[in-house]
Amino acid sequence: MITQQMKHTIIFLLIIFSTLKVEAKKIVSPIEIISGMADIIVIGEIDIVKDNSYTFKISETIKGQVYKTISVRKFKEWTCDTRFGKVKKGQRLCLFLKKGSTNWTIINGSTGELLILNNYITLGGDEEYIHVDYKFTPYRLSVQEFKNGIREFSKCYRFIGEYDFMDKKAHFEQICDDKQISKFKSINKFSAWLYKRMTKYPVIKA
């Protein structure tokens, strides 16, 4: 007999397998995965550009410990994962980061380095599309709506494991009570969208 937990695990594995292609291609981690994995999520701008890294001046911390400036290692670009443009001083970004030995590391390449333009963010990756007027268009939303949704999401969920088909124990932990979950999903359209996506994954209460 297949339990609810087994159903969630099967669905989770199918999501991961769906990102794999015969040819070499980046496995895109959806926004909920990189949010759940991140040590810090920050908004700010590039201050100093170096060969393999840049100094990032933080204006707002959405998740994790607060810093004024950090050193961020540039992700290695390749055919299936290129940056939106050359790294330049003054670029305003939202970064999803893991702590490295010397620098902070961007999670999942371009997926974890989002450009902010005219106070809007466009999500990247194959999963971050919405159906509008019979066309699939990138999910573009205001920075305010985005950061409110991600902030509350990060209070409720933490991703455990590795996002690949070999890690069958990978799952989300619910780190808040059910009342907080209700608050999270009702904040705005983006948080409701995130909550709906979470029904695909195995979620265990911490």
Domain that holds residue 79: 4-205
Cα distance between residue 112 and residue 94, in whole Å: 8
What is the pLDDT at residue 28?
80
What is the pLDDT at residue 19?
47
For 73, other C-beta atoms within 10 Å of its C-beta total 16
CB 35 within 8 A of CB 125: no
Cα distance between residue 106 and residue 91, in whole Å: 16
Query: Which among 135, 145, 127 is positioned nearest to 191, based on CA atoms?
Result: 145
Q: What is the largest CA-CA distance in the chain?
A: 58
What is the pLDDT at residue 84?
86
Give the β-pairing of 140-142 and 171-174.
unpaired
Q: How many domains does the chain have?
A: 1
Q: What is the CATH number of the domain that holds 22?
A: 2.40.50.140
Mean pLDDT by 10 residues, the chain (206 residues): 60 52 64 96 98 97 98 88 90 96 91 94 69 67 96 97 79 96 95 93 93
pTM of the full structure: 0.83
The alpha-carbon radius of gyration of the chain (Å, integer) is: 17
